[in-house]
Structures are given as structure tokens and as C-alpha cells.
Amino acid sequence: MNKTELVERLAARCGLSRNDASKVLDGLLETITESLRQGEDVTLTGFGTFHVKQRAARMGRNPRTGESVAIAASRSPGFKVGKSLKDALN
């Protein structure tokens, strides 16, 4: 399913226009992104938790030349599945 299909299903389920459903979805995604950017976890009870993973700086190796390369520290998004969602799939 892509974003367009998700918007169509959301609009049908909630009785909204596709334009309104698209605005709701965009607002939700922007809010989650902003919260993660600030280092906050976003918990949707029964669905799951979005969180930020911290990756430490480390030394890597260029596989072609064997030369050592410094890899900078970074942050990446993570998601932990909630029990209700996991149970729904099994």
C-alpha cells in the first residue's frame, strides 16, 4: 500500500474527503517527525512506539581499498511493535 491508497482508505473509513484525509495524514507524519527530531518517543498504545536510535561514531573500512574511514555518529528512527498489532498479525 502506498500513501495514495492509504489516504483513500482513511477517507472512506472516516467519512472524510480525500483532501481532508491527506491533510490529516500529512499532519500526523509531520508531528511524529518533529517529536523524533526533538528526541521524544511517540507511543501509540496498541500500535507501537517510534523512537530515536543513537549510533556512536566508529571506524569503518573501505572494502575496495582497505583504507580506514571515520564514520560519524548519527541518529536514526526506530519502531517497536505494540502487543495488539503483533497479536492481530498472528
| Sequence spans of domains, the chain | 1-39, 41-90
Cα–Cα distance for residue pair 54/50, rounded to 1 Å: 13
Per-residue pLDDT of the chain (90 residues; tens, 9 = 90+): 999 999 999 999 999 999 999 999 999 999 999 999 999 999 999 999 999 999 999 999 999 999 999 999 999 999 999 999 999 999
Could you tell me the fold of the domain covering 41-90?
A: HU Protein; Chain A (4.10.520)
Strands (E), the chain: 42-44, 48-55, 58-61, 68-71, 74-81
Rounded distance, CA 48 to CA 32, Å? 13
Task: Quote the cell numbers at residue 85.
Answer: 498489532
Cell numbers standing for residue 62: 573501505
Q: Which pLDDT value is given to residue 79?
A: 97
